[in-house]
Amino acid sequence: MTRKKAPELSAETIRSAALRVIDDEGLDEFSTRKLGRALGCEAMAIYWYYPSKDALLDAVVDLLMAGVAAAVTADADWIAILRAVAHAYRRVAHEHPRAFPLLATRRFASDGAFAFLEQLFALAREQGISDRATARYYRVVSSYCSGFALNELAPPATTATRRRKFARVDAVSSWLDPEHLDDIFSFGLELQLAALAKEQAR
């Protein structure tokens, strides 16, 4: 029997709905069957637009990365661009905590993701940054951002009572509380950007 494409669907509505389902239920609970229920269609109808679940998740990655890509501006210094990209990337973790692991653990594999990288790396070349240096900037900063954000998303520790038994641990840990994380993130990011810029200037 020939399947018919649901006329009310589109690739955009499907990936947006997929992100909503992931936001609501988490990646582990996500399935095309649940997505079909959310869309009011059979799960098989989704495959007219995305040939596999992996292809759909790549599309969700593109959707999440749209705000990050918007931080890439042609009229800015590349260090400033990386700074803006890093902060935009971390914002995704705050806005979509259940979906963010897709960015941190899934290799970029879509045209949209590669288009973002192409633009970012082309600007580096235009500003005289070597391919080797560009790779180092990108890998160091992206790994830092992913690790920091995933650490933020980890469930809070229930060790406050035990912590108070250890004076130095308690004193230092108070500076690791959520209200200080913006400052810590910026501190670590600026250390890396400064070191990378210094190396590039040699």
Domains of the chain and any CATH numbers: 1-51 (1.10.10), 67-201 (1.10.357.10)
Q: Which two tokens stand for residue 162?
A: 């035990």
pLDDT at 4 over 60: no
CB 92 within 8 A of CB 100: yes
pTM: 0.87
135-192 per-position pLDDT tens digit: 999 999 999 999 999 999 988 766 777 778 888 888 888 888 889 999 999 999 999 9
- Residue labelled with tokens 């709905």: 17
Question: pLDDT tens across 88-130, in order?
Answer: 999 999 999 999 999 988 878 888 889 999 999 999 999 999 9
| pLDDT tens column, 12-64 | 999 999 999 999 999 999 999 999 999 999 999 999 999 999 999 999 999 99
| CA–CA distance, 146 with 141 (Å, rounded to integer) | 9
The whole-angstrom separation of Cα 145 and Cα 87 is: 8
- The runs of H, that is alpha helices, within the chain are 11-25, 32-39, 43-46, 53-69, 78-95, 101-105, 111-126, 131-153, 160-163, 167-173, 181-201
